[in-house]
Amino acid sequence: MPQIQFHRQIIDRVAIGRYEDEVTHPGAIKAFLAEFISALIFVFAGQGSGMAISKITYGGSTTPDGLIAAAIAHGLALFVAVAISANISGGHVNPAVTFGLFIGGNITLLRGIFYIIAQLLGSVVACLLLFFSTGGLATTGFSLAHGVSVWNAFVFEIVMTFGLVYTVYATAVDPKKGEIGTIAPLAIGLIVGANILAGGAFTGASMNPAVAFGPAVVSWDWGNHWIYWAGPIIGGGLAGAIYELIFISRTHEPL
């Protein structure tokens, strides 16, 4: 009986949305543009730092110094990307975050799909800009470290993205967040930086399908690419469902 109620709570929160309200409305279009720009800024800074590290150091981000630099660059870039779009689109910047919020009923399916399209386009454009502005240097794709199996990486991406989306819920979504909401962009950036330190040497620590998608398109390297979609989507969905159903008790309309 509790299991049936649990499933019913999830279904009740999920909404498709009306096309006129969620796609063609001026507010929705502004939100899509905000997600595009935020993803572009985040990926440009994150990927750019990885390319710079690879250019000036042997081994790039696989060295201790390179890993720390990548964590700082991604953490700071995400802090800014979330902050500049939070008041317009909610500052998702990540398909896994969007999916986690959809599972919790905080965004409709239609708007979520267009958010994800905007995030993917932002990532691709960022990587194209990096390719041209660096004189044709290859974007840094995601790959598994030696000795790391696809299933090791899959679990890594699930756990890291769970922590990210859980942080989003606790600091930005929870109606009881109070003053903690003012540091939501910082907390989100910090958990990404910390996760890169934990998993960067093993999987590259994507936690974001858009971050992996842009380099894959520009370099046309799709090796083990499914991991960087399936892991974050599962981790984000689990975090959204658990936080929404256990820690938030409310009746609300999707955003």
As a whole number of angstroms, the distance between CA 212 and CA 36 comes to 15
Examine residue 12 and state whether it is found in any structural domain, yes or no: yes
Residue from 101, 144, 141 nearest 15 by CA: 101
Examine residue 254 and state whether it is found in any structural domain, yes or no: no
As a whole number of angstroms, the distance between CA 172 and CA 164 comes to 12
Could you tell me which residue, 25 or 21, shows the higher pLDDT? 25
Number of structural domains the chain divides into: 1
Q: Tens of pLDDT along 117-169?
A: 999 999 999 999 999 998 888 787 788 988 899 999 999 999 999 999 999 99
Does this model's pTM top 0.85? My answer is: yes
Mean pLDDT confidence for 178-203: 94
pLDDT-based confidence at residue 11 (cuts at 50, 70, 90): low
As a whole number of angstroms, the distance between CA 55 and CA 51 comes to 6
Examine residue 255 and state whether it is found in any structural domain, yes or no: no
Examine residue 253 and state whether it is found in any structural domain, yes or no: no
Examine residue 62 and state whether it is found in any structural domain, yes or no: yes
Examine residue 210 and state whether it is found in any structural domain, yes or no: yes
Task: For residue 133, give its domain range.
Answer: 2-247
Mean pLDDT confidence for 194-223: 93
The distance in angstroms from the start CA to the end CA of the chain is 29
As a whole number of angstroms, the distance between CA 184 and CA 168 comes to 7
Kindly report the CATH number assigned to the domain that includes residue 40. 1.20.1080.10
